[in-house]
Amino acid sequence: MHHIISKNKRLIIEIAVTHFVGRKKLKNIIDSKTSAIEIDLSKIDNDFKIEDLSQLIIDNLENKSWLHNQKCYEEKNDKQLVTYKKIESRNKKKWDKWEKKEEWYKQYYREVIYRKLGEDYFVKQIDTCPLKKRFYDDKFYASVSQDCSTCEHSRKEREKGKYLICLYEYHNRESPILTTLRITS
């Protein structure tokens, strides 16, 4: 969350990369009576150029949306109220879609294990890595920072680092069409 001051009014700027503003945070924003916008950078490539980032943040309008417009909310004239209701409706659809996606991801959660490797040093690991990245003490595992952070199947940590989303099974599942073709042929 970033704040700017313009004409003696504060504006909250949310940058969405992996997480968008949820209902609880939006309620806090509305309760604070502070206008807020969200800039969606979730589709930016990891190897972006700084010029592209500047263009997305400053110039591009398609990836920006109002989370809350306090002036519109206070004045509530007909035109602004219609705009405000459209914003609320669009945000509700976005949150519902996001919540369904997050619920779907839960089936692919892998518990993050914190292993002590010294007096004050811990590493985060995932036991039973399907790619069998590392092997120790009769178990395959993966290092979250070294293996999972660059893995095509990894979708970031959730619930304050307690879980990591691993889509290996999803990406390597059998297609129902292929299964049917094998059975019938």
| Euclidean distance between CA atoms 137 and 29, whole angstroms | 49
Strand 134-136 relative to strand 139-143, pairing: antiparallel
| Euclidean distance between CA atoms 172 and 180, whole angstroms | 17
pLDDT the model gives residue 109: 92
- pLDDT band for 4, please (50, 70, 90 cuts): confident
pLDDT the model gives residue 111: 92
Average pLDDT of the chain, as a whole number: 81
Per the model's pLDDT, the better-predicted residue between 57 and 11 turns out to be: 11
169-174 average pLDDT score = 83
Q: Whole-prediction pTM value?
A: 0.48
Per the model's pLDDT, the better-predicted residue between 114 and 79 turns out to be: 114
Biggest alpha carbon–alpha carbon distance for the chain: 73
pLDDT the model gives residue 71: 79
Instruction: Tell me the pLDDT tens digit for each residue of 25-46.
Output: 888 888 898 999 998 888 777 7
3-state secondary structure of 5: strand
2-11, 16-25, 50-59: segment of lowest average pLDDT: 50-59
- Output the six-digit token pair for 89: 């409706």
Q: Does residue 177 register a pLDDT over 70? A: no
pLDDT the model gives residue 98: 82
- Output the six-digit token pair for 157: 């940590």
- pLDDT band for 163, please (50, 70, 90 cuts): very high
Q: Does residue 176 register a pLDDT over 70? A: no
28-37, 55-64, 130-139, 140-149: segment of lowest average pLDDT: 55-64
pLDDT the model gives residue 160: 84
Instruction: Tell me the pLDDT tens digit for each residue of 48-91.
Output: 777 777 777 777 788 888 888 887 777 766 666 677 777 778 87
